[in-house]
Amino acid sequence: MSTAAPSPALQLPGLMESLAPPPELGSPAELRFAEVALFVPLGRSYSFAVPEPLAASAVTGARVICGLRGRRILGVILAVRDGDPGIAREKLKPILAVVDAEPVVPIELLSFLVELASYYLAPIGEVLRLAVPAVERTRARALKQDGLTPSGLSAVGRSLSHVIARSPADQALLEGKLRGQARELWEHLRSQQSARLPDLLQRWGNARAAVKKLEALGLVATEQRSEVDGQFFSGAIARDVPPQLNEAQARAVAAIEEQLAAGTGASFLLHGVTASGKTEVYLRAVQAALDRGGSALILVPEIALTPQLVGRFRARLGDTIAVLHSGLSQSQRHAMWTLLYSGERRVAVGARSALFAPLRELRLICVDEEQDHSFKQEEGVRYNARDMALLRAQRAGAVCVLGSATPSIKSFHALSTQKLTRLRLPERAHRAAALPRAELVDLRRIGPGRPGERLLSLPLCRALEQVLERKEQAILFLNRRGFAPSVVCETCGEILGCPSCEVPLTYHVNPRPHVICHYCDYRDPVPERCAKCSADTLSFEGIGTERIESALTSAFPGARVGRLDRDTGPGLKSAKVLAQMQAGELDILVGTQMVTKGHDLPRVSLVGVLNADAGLSMPDFQASERTFQLLVQVAGRAGRAGTPGHVLIQTKNPEHPAIALAVTHDVAGFVEQELAERRALGYPPYSRLAMVRVSSLDEQVARSAARELAEIARRRAGSTVEVLGPSPAPIARLRSQYRFRLLVRARTRAPLRHVLIGIQEARLDRRVRMVVDVDPVSML
């Protein structure tokens, strides 16, 4: 708790006029006070007196309006207590108003948020922003001027009429009665299964009358759906029939159901090879949680995977789920949030931000592809949704299931310390679908299959020819977008760099030739001459996905080639490209790591990894782990539906363990070797790690601040904490900011936290920005 004045506070326009005078406090013996987290970036809660008129409504989890230094600020009550707050009574300001008739943050979720803020040393107000939609945070503006009357949650949003096609037994007879526009509309609905009435009216002016006729004949039904449902659940979807589980799946489901029935919580690692049927296990577990009156949360690492998973869950559970991810607008996110808060929907599916869904009676959390580093938030509150899913499940007494074909090193370590229980799926769900045959292509000895394209080796080109002859599909993986990673002057050797970042500019040809910085998004036309020597000898060095796409189009004129990277399929747009693959409209898909994650593409029989060595040179102790996981995951896209799969991994370093063991799908062998190296070097999971990043527009200011923080850290460290650095970051300048970093490492959490708190309390030059990243994922 603190009475220190916040800075700067969140101001809510209009509240100054609407607030009534502060309510009277009770007698000293009846003093009640509340700890309130304000929606401001300060790492502390504040104490406010609870006036007698508000005593019944000022409860834990409720939003309140508080006055602080002349400002009216929105906050959430963390706790209410009676007695002495430890602050002079005259200094204790009263809560001015309670916004809600009931708490806006469930107690279970609020308790979890407080612990998350403590673990990551994050401001509690900023953490609460993750859980409360902006629509709800700012709705205090709507408080009535005559009394600040508490009100319920905002409305979910406008409803839209949807028309759904039906299939009555006498359908053919009824169709014979249709003429003109009614028949056209029926043909459209029969092919689309359902449609929004406004869309039908836009195409057929008399659609309303035609729909009434179809409804009278029993060919269609109409229902009201929220606007969000119209966007995310448009089109009817056929309900699936649960397949028969194999023995391993049945054992996994039984173990999860046993813990759900016990109600005491448990944590599992669902370790299954690619295409082993992990999603089916999730579906059975969710149904078991719902049958017991609980709710469930499903987390995926990428927004791109959300539509695919939503489709599977709709087919099994119907439209009883809500979707949450950062790609939603504020109103869409608020609508989904409200449906979950009210209990109208009890299953939430989404990317990492769905972790904060206000689910009631939470009984199950499933984290798909738990090894994926996308679960780590790299801006604002730097939380890891995978780690925090375990914490939230523990706090709620729920079951947590971490699923992966290539579990993280820390998950394997957790198995050895009995923090996780392993459930194994050793075979693919379809008995006819064996793991793909993988082989190495040593680029040191084997030349290109097409002149000038060294990453299209001869074996790969021959394999592509065979796939096209068989009318199957192929995926080519290259984790570098653009046409060429750099533009170089052949006369003086100058590399065209970003003016704001210490990185080369990448050459792109689409939609027009230009260079771009992949870090700050700086863009410029391609210069005609070198800026240093004025020579007109600029060349494009390296190979990106655009160049591979162009080369494949030239090499295989009859092939339909697509590309999936951040340029063609950011966020939900990637679903369109993946739908083309699903429908057989593409023969070859070239992509970055977006193609490696969890996609079920049954026609894919060939996977080519064009440059397996790319990630091994990163300045990161996790580089080998990431490379191994990417290779095994992308290989798993091949041969998933019975067609034999073939994987070609191109490399100049075939002896490296991450590559050699990925070829044989030897997860256990890689984990054993990697854990031994981590133990010898003192890296996680055998230590606790935090990174402190310092940046400033002035290089000397940033360097001095980093040294000052290192000195503070070393004074507090003692013998149990190691401080490494400071040193320039691998990308020393980013968005015009000069960057330095230091690593703080300890065997246990407590001494590490002691040092980090000292660092956070340091008073630095105002020109300096400091970030403390607990359990860092990106070392750049």
Provide the β-strand partners of residue 649. 440, 609
> Residue 643: how many CA atoms within 13 Å on its side-chain side?
19
User: Does the structure show a pLDDT above 70 at 147?
Assistant: no
Q: Which two tokens stand for residue 115?
A: 């612990």
- 619: how many CB neighbours lie within 10 A of its CB? 10
Tokens 């029993």 map to which residue?
218
Model confidence pLDDT, tens digit, residues 561-585: 999 988 876 666 677 788 888 889 9
User: In this predicted structure, what is the pLDDT of residue 233?
Assistant: 59
Which range is least confidently modeled, 31-35, 82-86, 192-196, 214-218? 192-196
User: In this predicted structure, what is the pLDDT of residue 155?
Assistant: 44
pLDDT band at 425 (very low <50, low <70, confident <90, very high): very high
Share of residues in the chain with pLDDT > 90 (%):
60
Distance of CA 238 to the CA centre of its chain: 28
Q: In the sheet where 194-196 sits, what is the strand order?
A: 194-196, 159-165, 220-226
User: Does the structure show a pLDDT above 50 at 145?
Assistant: no
Model confidence pLDDT, tens digit, residues 29-67: 458 899 999 988 877 888 999 999 999 999 999 999 998
Q: Which two tokens stand for residue 529?
A: 């001459």
Q: Which two tokens stand for residue 640?
A: 């998933």
User: Does the structure show a pLDDT above 60 at 151?
Assistant: no
- Report which DSSP code applies to 512: S
Residue with the larger pLDDT of the pair 194 and 276: 276
Residue with the larger pLDDT of the pair 91 and 341: 341
Model confidence pLDDT, tens digit, residues 742-751: 999 999 999 9
Model confidence pLDDT, tens digit, residues 171-198: 666 667 788 888 888 878 876 667 778 7
User: In this predicted structure, what is the pLDDT of residue 308?
Assistant: 77
Calpha distance 772→780 (Å, rounded): 14
**Is there a cis peptide before residue 525, judged by omega within 30 degrees of 0?**
no
Q: In the sheet where 737-746 sits, what is the strand order?
A: 721-734, 737-746, 688-696, 769-774
Q: In the sheet where 514-516 sits, what is the strand order?
A: 506-508, 514-516, 523-524
Residues ≥6 apart with Cβ < 8 Å to 388: 112, 116, 355
Name the residue among 198, 192, 269 with its Cα closest to residue 234.
192
Tokens 């009277």 map to which residue?
24
Calpha distance 531→73 (Å, rounded): 52
Which range is least confidently modeled, 120-134, 164-178, 389-403, 484-498? 164-178
User: Does the structure show a pLDDT above 60 at 125?
Assistant: yes
Name the residue among 394, 342, 327, 343 with its Cα closest to residue 365.
394
∠ CA 611-612-618, nearest 5°, is: 100
615 contacts 627 by C-beta, under 8 angstroms? yes
- 141: how many CB neighbours lie within 10 A of its CB? 11
Model confidence pLDDT, tens digit, residues 361-404: 999 999 999 999 999 999 999 999 999 999 999 999 999 999 99
Residues ≥6 apart with Cβ < 8 Å to 381: 116, 117, 120, 122, 123, 126, 127, 130
User: In this predicted structure, what is the pLDDT of residue 172?
Assistant: 66
384 contacts 376 by C-beta, under 8 angstroms? yes
User: In this predicted structure, what is the pLDDT of residue 452?
Assistant: 72
Q: Which two tokens stand for residue 714?
A: 């070393």
Q: How far is CA 113 from CA 132, 443, 564, 749, in A?
A: 11, 50, 36, 19
**Is there a cis peptide before residue 511, judged by omega within 30 degrees of 0?**
yes
Name the residue among 622, 773, 615 with its Cα closest to residue 685.
622
User: In this predicted structure, what is the pLDDT of residue 14?
Assistant: 32
Greatest mean pLDDT range, 225-229, 310-314, 746-750: 746-750
Model confidence pLDDT, tens digit, residues 713-768: 999 998 999 999 999 999 999 999 999 999 999 999 999 999 999 999 999 999 99
3-state helix, strand, coil in the chain (%, to 5): 35, 25, 40
Calpha distance 588→463 (Å, rounded): 12
Tokens 């939230």 map to which residue?
392
Model confidence pLDDT, tens digit, residues 654-690: 999 999 999 999 999 999 999 999 999 999 999 999 9
Task: Tell me what the mean pLDDT of segment 69-89 comes to.
Answer: 84
